[in-house]
Amino acid sequence: MQVGAVLPRFLLVYAALYAGYGLTTPFLPALLSERGLSATEVGLVLAAATGIRLAAGPLAGRVADRLAAGRGVLAACAALSAGSALLYLAGHGFSGLMLAGLAHAAATAPLAPLADALALTAAAAKTAAAKTAAEPFRFAYGTVRGAGSAAFIAGTLAAGQVTGSLGLAALPVAGAIAFAALAGATLRLPDAASPAEAPSGGRGSAGAGLLLRSATFRRLVAVAALVIGSHAVHDAFAVIRWRAAGLTPSTASLLWAEAVAAEVLVFFLLGPPLLARLGPAGALGLAAGAGALRWSVAALTVALPALVGIQALHGLTFALLHLAAMRILSQTVPPALAATAQTVYGTLGLGLATALATLAAGPLYGALGAGAFWVMTGLCGAALLLVPGLRDRATAVSDHRKD
């Protein structure tokens, strides 16, 4: 299949996927509250959803690898995501909405990691073909992931318009439509690894255990978890701090939008040349260093020019880190473990790290105020210390089966 045929199909998949996230995620707490749940009950539903994601993501990845059916599992999960979104309208009371939340979280947890596994496999194949002049140009992963970030922005903006016109209850319906479109678009993708690409010992038989025995994989997850986890205080308390300092809600919204725009810019334009110049480990180091700078400034000031400057660093602390991590995974993980690697990395690695850091953010901010950002700076500093080891350990996961 030519790149020109593959790329639009992946763009459609990522647009539907992240539009679905944008339509359903930001306003979910408000929807649960409108349907009668107390603040405590809303928190319990969201916490339980986080827990089920940590189990559902790796399980779906393992199934996808064992059956060599990444495309089929992604399509099935997308269809389940569409159906489970509507459960928020059918559920009544705490128990009904809890079941709806668990079902939807379990269905949506594998979507992004499975899509990434398919996209990275396709990108690697097309890049190899381009090097032999069999294809006219390369298929860059950053292009489709950037399209996903842009679609998330569009979905979030659309959610605000839909809510204003039709109310919060319309959002699960809109999200269901997006996830159904994702299921349909996924079926038009090329599938991932072929049976011949399975590592010895049976397809996915070692699964997460093989990955976790790889020093490269463990170190990558640690670096990414520290940098992504360092966003916790910002995500939870930045707007509160900005407003306490006198910034208007519209200014706070613009600062938040600037960060997402920087993310899109790095995915589309700046990230690929930086990755090519620095290499994956160097890009991870730049991301960690940018995080240390970002949170240090956040700890010291809420002056608007400084905030404008550090919000732009989100393109490095998230997007560049993600591109570098995906490059290392694509270079070191066998195709027959790609889905497992993505789901373990995304859910048990980043998801668990984010959950733990978010739990710690409240007590830290309560005790230290803006000083909590220094703790986040420390996390990025710890990540920096781990980066050099990735330069020395960039070996395939399959090479560690006997470690």
DSSP codes joined into one string, 199-266: PTTSTTSSTHHHHHT-HHHHHHHHHHHHHHHTTHHHHHHHHHHHHHTT--HHHHHHHHHHHHHHHHHI
Residues 233 and 187 reside in one and the same domain:
no
Residues 29 and 162 reside in one and the same domain:
yes
Question: Token digits for 61?
Answer: 């990845």
> Does residue 197 lie in a domain region?
no
- The reported pLDDT for the residue numbered 333 is 87
Residues 276 and 342 reside in one and the same domain:
yes
Domain that holds residue 15: 1-127+138-191
CB 122 within 8 A of CB 139: yes
Residues 212 and 159 reside in one and the same domain:
no
Residues 256 and 186 reside in one and the same domain:
no
User: Residue ranges of the chain with pLDDT lower than 70?
Assistant: 1-4, 126-138, 191-208, 391-403
Query: Which residue, of 163, 191, 219, is where some domain finishes?
Result: 191
The region, left, alpha or beta by phi > 0 then psi within -120 to 50, assigned to residue 167 is: left
> Does residue 196 lie in a domain region?
no
Residues 220 and 152 reside in one and the same domain:
no
- The reported pLDDT for the residue numbered 102 is 95
Residues 102 and 50 reside in one and the same domain:
yes
Q: What is the pLDDT of residues 227-257, one digit of tens each?
A: 999 999 998 888 889 988 998 878 887 888 8
Cα–Cα distance list, 156 to 24, 390, 395 (Å)? 8, 36, 40
Nearest to 151 by CA among 57, 49, 268: 268
Q: Tokens 């020395």 belong to which residue?
A: 392
Residues 166 and 273 reside in one and the same domain:
no
> Does residue 296 lie in a domain region?
yes
The CATH number assigned to the domain holding 274 equals 1.20.1250.20
Residues 45 and 154 reside in one and the same domain:
yes
> Does residue 200 lie in a domain region?
no
- The reported pLDDT for the residue numbered 209 is 75
- A 10 A CB-CB count for 236 gives 16
CB 66 within 8 A of CB 338: no
Q: Tokens 């901010």 belong to which residue?
A: 365
CB 206 within 8 A of CB 401: yes
Residues 184 and 123 reside in one and the same domain:
yes
Q: What is the pLDDT of residues 347-376, one digit of tens each?
A: 878 888 888 888 888 899 999 999 999 999
Query: Which residue, of 191, 216, 234, is where some domain finishes?
Result: 191
8-state DSSP, 193: -
In this prediction, what percent of the chain has a pLDDT beyond 70? 88
Q: How far apart are CA 271 and CA 124, in angstroms?
A: 17
CA dihedral 196, 207, 356, 85 (to 10 degrees): 60
Q: How far apart are CA 258 and CA 81, in angstroms?
A: 30
- A 10 A CB-CB count for 43 gives 13
Q: How many domains does the chain have?
A: 2
Query: Which residue, of 151, 166, 191, is where some domain finishes?
Result: 191
- The reported pLDDT for the residue numbered 135 is 52
Residues 305 and 235 reside in one and the same domain:
yes
- The reported pLDDT for the residue numbered 200 is 43
Single-letter amino acid code for the residue at 308:
V
Nearest to 383 by CA among 273, 262, 269, 295: 295
- The reported pLDDT for the residue numbered 195 is 39
Q: How far apart are CA 129 and CA 135, in angstroms?
A: 6
> Does residue 163 lie in a domain region?
yes
> Does residue 159 lie in a domain region?
yes
> Does residue 228 lie in a domain region?
yes
> Does residue 100 lie in a domain region?
yes
Residues 274 and 162 reside in one and the same domain:
no
Question: Token digits for 10?
Answer: 């992946």
- The reported pLDDT for the residue numbered 403 is 42
Q: Tokens 């010291």 belong to which residue?
A: 300
CA angle 363–260–232, rounded 5-degree value: 10
Q: How far apart are CA 266 and CA 274, in angstroms?
A: 9
Consecutive H or E run containing 329: helix 321-332
